[in-house]
C-alpha cells in the first residue's frame, strides 16, 4: 500500500474489580495499528496482517474496524461514494482480556476521521467505536473503548446515553498485566453471569466504586487498595481461569494494591504504588503459571494518557 495515515490504539484493562463495565484504563503495551488512504473504488477495503490476523474476522459485517467505520460514515452521510483502503496490523490478541475488539474499532474511526479532515472531535468518535465493538460480544459497554480512544482511567456512568468521566491518575500508580496462554471469549464469560445480585453485595460494590474514585482523585493508595474488591463478578468467572486465586495470592504478597481479572480474562491485572512492586507481582504471577506448565507474557506500565494516536 502507498504511504497513508497511520493510527495506533493501545491495549486496555477493564472491569477493574469494583467497576464491572464501569472502569477501564489504557496501558503502554502492544497496539493495534492501521494504515489507511482514500481510493477511487467505493467501499471499505480491508487487509488484515499481524500476529493475530487469522483469528480476526475478515467479514466486514463482523469485523469491529469496518463496522465502526461504517456507522461513522453513515452518520456523516458519506457511505455510498467513499473508498477507503485499510491495512490493519492486528497485534492485540482476541480473547486476551486486553481490549482487542475496542482497539481495532477506535483506530478505525480515528483514522477515517483524519482522512476526512477531522469532521468530529476525538471524543465524538466514541459511540461509533462502541458500535464496532458490539459485534464482537453483543454487549454495549465502553470500559475498553473509552480508555483506548481517549487514554487515562475512565469512569463509565452510562453507555446509553453516553456519560463518561476521566479520573485523575495518582503519581506512582503502575499497572501489571499478565496474560497466560488460555483463551476466554467475552461472549462466553458473560453467559456465566447471573442476572440477579445479592442486595448486600451490591451495596458493598457501590461503596467500593465510590471510594475507588475518591482514592484516585486524592492519591490515597491505602483507600484504593481497600476499594479493589469485587463482590459481584469475580467469583462467577474465576473458574474460567485456572490458577487465578493462586496468582492473586502471589501478587498480593508482593505488596500489590489489588489484583483482578481484566475484561473477561485470561489477563490478570495488578495495581501497585511503585514500579518495583509492579515488577515483583509480574514475576510472582508468571511463576504461578510456569509451575502449572502454562506459558504467559507480562508487561508493567504506567497508565497510558494518550489513547489512540496518529503515528
Tens of pLDDT, residues 25-41:
999 988 999 999 999 99
Indicate if 289 and 247 belong to the same structural domain: yes
Bridge partners, 309 (sequence order):
8
Distance CA 9, CA 34 (A): 9
- Whether residue 149 contacts residue 9, with contact meaning beta carbons closer than 8 Å, is answered with yes
What's the whole-number average pLDDT of the chain?
Answer: 93
Is the CB of residue 305 less than 8 Å from the CB of residue 152? yes
Residues 24 and 151 in one domain: yes
pLDDT (mean) for 253-268 = 95
* Peptide bond between residue 161 and the one before it cis (omega within 30 degrees of 0): yes
Both 272 and 224 in a single domain? Answer: yes
Query: Is 95 found in the same domain as 40?
Result: yes
Looking at per-residue pLDDT, the higher value among 235 and 122 belongs to: 122
Q: In Å, how far from its chain's centre is CA 133?
A: 11
* Digit-coded pLDDT (tens) for 37-57: 999 999 999 998 888 877 787
pLDDT: is 190 or 95 the higher one?
Answer: 95
Question: 146-166: buried (b, 16+ CB within 10 Å) or exposed (e) per residue?
Answer: bbbbbbbbbbbeebeeeebee
What does the pLDDT read at residue 187? 67
How many CB atoms neighbour CB 43 within 10 A? 16
Q: What is the pTM of this model?
A: 0.93
| Domain, as residue range, for 199 | 174-302
C-alpha cell at 41: 473504488
Distance CA 239, CA 64 (A): 28
Q: Examine the domain organization and report whether 215 and 270 are in the same domain.
A: yes
Q: Same structural domain for residues 232 and 142?
A: no
Structural domain total, the chain: 2
pLDDT score at 185: 65
Mean pLDDT of 125-135: 94
**Same-domain check for residues 155 and 190:** no
Task: Report the CATH number at residue 117.
Answer: 3.30.230.10
* Residue 290 shares a structural domain with residue 161: no
CATH of residue 217 = 3.30.70.890
2 pLDDT more than 60: no
Check whether residue 91 and residue 16 sit in a common domain: yes
**Secondary structure (DSSP) of 139-189:** ----TTHHHHHH-SEEEEEETTTTEEEEEP--TT-EEEEEEES----HHHH
Please tell me whether residues 21 and 127 are part of one structural domain. yes
pLDDT reported for residue 262: 95
Number of H helices and number of E strands within the chain? 10, 11
Q: Is 299 helix (H, G, I), strand (E, B) or coil?
A: strand
Residue 136: in which H helix or E strand, if any? helix 126-137
Let me know whether 226 and 136 are in one domain.
Answer: no
| Residue 1's pLDDT band (cuts 50, 70, 90) | very low
Residues 228, 163 share a domain:
no
The CA distance from 176 to 301, in Å, is: 6
Amino acid at each position: 500500500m502507498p504511504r497513508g495515515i497511520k493510527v495506533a490504539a493501545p491495549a486496555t484493562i477493564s472491569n477493574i474489580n469494583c467497576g464491572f463495565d464501569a472502569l477501564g484504563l489504557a496501558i503502554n503495551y502492544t497496539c493495534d495499528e492501521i494504515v489507511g488512504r482514500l481510493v477511487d473504488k467505493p467501499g471499505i477495503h480491508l487487509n488484515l496482517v499481524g500476529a493475530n490476523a487469522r483469528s480476526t474476522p475478515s467479514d466486514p459485517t463482523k469485523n469491529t474496524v469496518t463496522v465502526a467505520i461504517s456507522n461513522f460514515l453513515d452518520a456523516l452521510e458519506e457511505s455510498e461514494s467513499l473508498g477507503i483502503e485499510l491495512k490493519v496490523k492486528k497485534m492485540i490478541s482476541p480473547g486476551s482480556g486486553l481490549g482487542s475488539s475496542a482497539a481495532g474499532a477506535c483506530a478505525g474511526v480515528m483514522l477515517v476521521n483524519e482522512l476526512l479532515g477531522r469532521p468530529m472531535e476525538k471524543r465524538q468518535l466514541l459511540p461509533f467505536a462502541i458500535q464496532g465493538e458490539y459485534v464482537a460480544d453483543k454487549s454495549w459497554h465502553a470500559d475498553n473503548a473509552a480508555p483506548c480512544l481517549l487514554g487515562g482511567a475512565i469512569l463509565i456512568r452510562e453507555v446509553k446515553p453516553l456519560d463518561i468521566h476521566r479520573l485523575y491518575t495518582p503519581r506512582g500508580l503502575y499497572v501489571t498485566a499478565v496474560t497466560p496462554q488460555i483463551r476466554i471469549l467475552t461472549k462466553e464469560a458473560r453467559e456465566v453471569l447471573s442476572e440477579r445480585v445479592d442486595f448486600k453485595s451490591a451495596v458493598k460494590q457501590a461503596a467500593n466504586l465510590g471510594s475507588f474514585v475518591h482514592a484516585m482523585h486524592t492519591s490515597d493508595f491505602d483507600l484504593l487498595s481497600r476499594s479493589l474488591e469485587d463482590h459481584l463478578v469475580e467469583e462467577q468467572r474465576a473458574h474460567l481461569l485456572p490458577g487465578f486465586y493462586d496468582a492473586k495470592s502471589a501478587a498480593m504478597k508482593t505488596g500489590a494494591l489489588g489484583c483482578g481479572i481484566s475484561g473477561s480474562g485470561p489477563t490478570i491485572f495488578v495495581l501497585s504504588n511503585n514500579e518495583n512492586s509492579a515488577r515483583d507481582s509480574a514475576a510472582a504471577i508468571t511463576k504461578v503459571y510456569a509451575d502449572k506448565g502454562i506459558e504467559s507474557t507480562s508487561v508493567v506500565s504506567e497508565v497510558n494518557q494518550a489513547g489512540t494516536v496518529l503515528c
